[in-house]
Structure 1
Amino acid sequence: MNYVKYLRDKIGHDVINLTGVNVLIINENNQILLQRRGTYPFKWGLIGGITELGEALEDTAIREAKEETGLDIKDLSLLGTTSGEKCYIHFPNEDKAYFITVGYITKSFSGELMVDGLETKELKFFSYEDLPNNIPDSHRIFLDKYFNGKASIKEAD
């Protein structure tokens, strides 16, 4: 089921709250994997997406990582949440939403990076000092929290 389509079919373009996840996938060089999105907003950002109806947040993180990167992730650690004014999006199709997002971190991943050319245009690991400028504010909050040493994570087995 596409939860957002299900909601939009019932309420149209009115503003809604949507729950989702972002995942900071960190490599052995303490670099973060970012995705250059092929869908709105067309920016660099964290891996993640919207939770489907009845789906556990951790399962959303695992599913979205696989769909957007081709990677299998595990050993997720909770980073925190974002919500409020910085998490508002007015889409080109007139849909409006505030995102309530749970952030996770992992250094435990396997597989090969795969770009689908649709939702994901490019995947690349970045150091904190070399992050692209066009990252959504809500993603920047998670990045700043992790890289400023305010978060701990489970190490890969």
Structure 2
Amino acid sequence: MKEVNYVKYIRDRVGHDEINLTGVNVLIINENNQVLLQKRGTFPYKWGLIGGITELGESLEQTAVREAKEETGLDIKELTLLGTTSGEKCYMEHPNGDKVYFITVGYFTKNFKGLLKIDNFETKELNFFTYEELPANIPNSHRIMIDNYYHGGVYR
């Protein structure tokens, strides 16, 4: 399949109108049961989970693996389905006027290897946090996934 930037492809056709975008978030959990967060260098400029939008023809699992590599430098395996977020709590308007409802599938993994790598564009910082140390400015949908992991009976 021809590689296409899916968001650009859609935006070229609908402009700034509201759209649904499907993506993934991955909780990468270390041996101390801390979750890896990324301080984004692009909008929304917050701490958040690793993840991104699924490209045309890409599986959700492939998206998770690709985004983890791009945003952290880590290779991840053994993804476990965590849950989903969608609806009005996952609405975002970008500074350029693009309106999006995110439909997100969450995974977690404790199986990763490699060295953390920061690109200083999309990723400004990477850090593992305990649940009690989480930054306050995490997107709502990310917080739901984190809460589900730690308090939804998934945490091991």
Q: Same fold (TM over 0.5)?
A: yes
- Residue 149 of structure 2 aligns to a residue whose secondary structure is helix
Give, in whole Å, the separation in 1 of the partners of 2:152 and 2:5: 36
User: CA–CA distance in 2 between the matches of 1:79 and 1:148?
Assistant: 12
Structure 2 residue 126 is matched with structure 1 residue 123: yes
From 29, 40, 45, the counterpart of 1:42: 45
State whether structure 2 residue 106 is matched by structure 1 residue 103.
yes
**Contact 1:77–1:152 at 8 Å: present in 2 too?**
no
The corresponding residue for 2:64 is 61
Hey, what does 1:79 align to over in structure 2? 82
Task: Provide the C-alpha distance between the structure 2 equivalents of 1:8 and 1:152, rounded to a whole number of angstroms.
Answer: 38
Q: What displacement does 1:150 show?
A: 2.1
Aligned pair partner of 2:25 in 18, 22, 26: 22
Percent of aligned positions with the same letter in both sequences?
73
RMSD of Structure 2 on Structure 1 (CA)? 0.9
Mapped pair 1:92 → 2:95: yes
TM-score normalised by structure 1 residue count: 0.96
Runs of 5+ in structure 2 lacking a partner?
none
- State whether structure 2 residue 77 is matched by structure 1 residue 70: no
The structural deviation recorded for 1:149 is 4.2
Picking from 130, 136, 151, the partner of 1:148 is 151
Runs of 4+ in 1 over 4 A off after TM superposition: none
Matches of 1:150 and 1:137 in 2, distance apart? Answer: 20
Tell me, in whole angstroms, the C-alpha distance in 2 between the residues paired with 1:46 and 1:7: 24
Question: How far apart, CA to CA, are the structure 2 residues paired with 1:36 and 1:67?
Answer: 14
Equivalent pairs, count? 153
1:64-91 superposed Cα distances (whole Å, 9 cap, x missing partner): 0000000000000000000011100000
- 2:34 aligned with 1:31, yes or no? yes
Q: CA deviation at 1:152?
A: 5.7
Unpaired runs of 5+ residues, structure 1, are none
